[in-house]
């Protein structure tokens, strides 16, 4: 009885979180152009999507920004984590404090502050400014994912590798890096997700004519969203879901085989 209540509660929260997603998926198959009316089942928006160059361009921009910004953030963040292990307590806590600023700060303040920076430096707004901004807010996610792994790391393994004649760089990539990898990967994924979902910071740092999916949707909201957008979002979501299910199933299998 108690267990049933718990399960119902979890189900209700998950329903709350996923109901809008379900709604959008249903709308993507709606033959009618307005959201208010169900005009029968149709896949015409999926076909229209691949002919809509504006949306495809925004998608391309979104993915390229997410990919590059999370990659750069992962590299800078991981190097920063390694550097921090060699630091004194105080220096380390100052740096961690700075790292926390973009996490705790309001997106709107981060957005306008970066906008003011680019204006004063005379940088032209465009893909470049979006990239710089995304890298900035992505680094903390990487650091916060890698740091716990770094703390668990046994320093002796690195020293053992050196002792066995390995060079510093070689010892790092052969011994330390594999241990950090799960943290690095989850940091990368987190950064990628955050970049993909960001609207506010992109809104303030993008140039005229450059759009990501978020800002494209924002301008469309005023004119009326094109249903192709629902089709695209549904496609992205289902792709990610499938990938994650596959990834989550595979390690389980290997565990069972070992037994």
Within residues 118-177, the interface with other proteins by CB under 8 A covers: 119-120, 132-133, 135-136, 139, 144-145, 147-148, 168
Is residue 85 a contact residue for other proteins (CB under 8 A)? yes
Looking only at residues 180 through 219 of this chain, which bind other proteins when binding is defined by CB under 8 A? 186, 190, 193-194, 196-197, 199-200, 203-204, 213-214, 217-218
Residues 13, 4: Cα–Cα separation, whole Å = 14
Stretch that binds other proteins, among 41-49, 107-115, 173-181 (CB under 8 A): 107-115
Give the residue among 75, 4, 27, 87 at the shortest CA–CA distance from 228.
Answer: 27
Residues 173, 212: Cα–Cα separation, whole Å = 36
Which residues have a Cβ under 8 Å from the Cβ of 47 and sit 6 or more positions away? none
Residue 87 region by backbone torsions, left for phi larger than 0, else alpha for psi between -120 and 50, else beta: beta
- Among 49, 55, 65, 80, which residue interacts with other proteins (rule: CB under 8 A)? 80
Is residue 8 a contact residue for other proteins (CB under 8 A)? no
Is residue 67 a contact residue for other proteins (CB under 8 A)? no
Distance set, CA 6 to CA 13, 14, 16 (Å): 11, 12, 16
Cβ distance to other proteins smaller for residue 68 or 112: 112
Is residue 19 a contact residue for other proteins (CB under 8 A)? yes
Stretch that binds other proteins, among 46-54, 115-123, 173-181 (CB under 8 A): 115-123
Q: Contact at 8 Å (CB) between 135 and 188? A: no
Give the residue among 145, 154, 149, 152 at the shortest CA–CA distance from 74.
Answer: 145
Cβ distance to other proteins smaller for residue 43 or 116: 116
CB of 178 to other proteins, least distance (A): 19
Looking only at residues 217 through 236 of this chain, which bind other proteins when binding is defined by CB under 8 A? 217-218, 221, 225, 229-230, 233, 236
Is residue 241 a contact residue for other proteins (CB under 8 A)? yes
Return the ∠ at Cα 14 (arms to 49 and 233), rounded to 5°: 10
Q: What are phi and psi of 257, to 5 degrees?
A: -65, -35
CB of 78 to other proteins, least distance (A): 10
CB of 54 to other proteins, least distance (A): 15
Size of the site for other proteins (CB under 8 A): 84
Burial of 235 (0-12, 13-18, 19+ CB in 10 A): middle
């Amino acid at each position: 009885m108690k267990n049933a209540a718990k399960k119902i509660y979890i189900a209700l929260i998950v329903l709350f979180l996923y109901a809008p997603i379900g709604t959008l998926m249903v709308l993507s198959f709606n033959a009618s152009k307005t959201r208010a009316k169900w005009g029968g089942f149709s896949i015409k928006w999926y076909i229209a999507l691949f002919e809509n160059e504006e949306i495809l361009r925004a998608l391309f921009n979104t993915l390229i920004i997410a990919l590059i910004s999370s990659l750069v953030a992962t590299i800078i963040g991981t190097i920063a984590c390694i550097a921090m292990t060699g630091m004194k307590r105080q220096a380390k806590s100052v740096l961690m404090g700075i790292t926390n600023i973009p996490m705790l700060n309001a997106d709107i303040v981060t957005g306008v502050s970066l906008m003011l920076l680019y204006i004063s430096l005379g940088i032209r707004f465009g893909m470049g400014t979006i990239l710089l901004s995304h890298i900035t807010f992505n680094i903390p996610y990487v650091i916060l994912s890698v740091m716990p792994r770094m703390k668990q790391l046994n320093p002796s393994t690195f020293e053992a590798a050196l002792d066995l004649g390995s060079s510093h760089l070689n010892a790092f990539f052969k011994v330390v890096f594999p241990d950090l990898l799960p943290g690095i990967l989850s940091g990368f994924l987190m950064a990628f997700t955050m970049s993909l979902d960001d609207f506010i910071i992109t809104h303030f740092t993008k140039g005229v004519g450059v759009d990501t999916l978020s800002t494209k949707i924002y301008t469309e909201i005023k004119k009326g969203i094109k249903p192709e957008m629902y089709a695209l979002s549904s496609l992205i979501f289902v792709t990610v879901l499938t990938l994650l299910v596959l990834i989550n199933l595979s390690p389980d299998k290997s565990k069972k085989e070992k037994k």
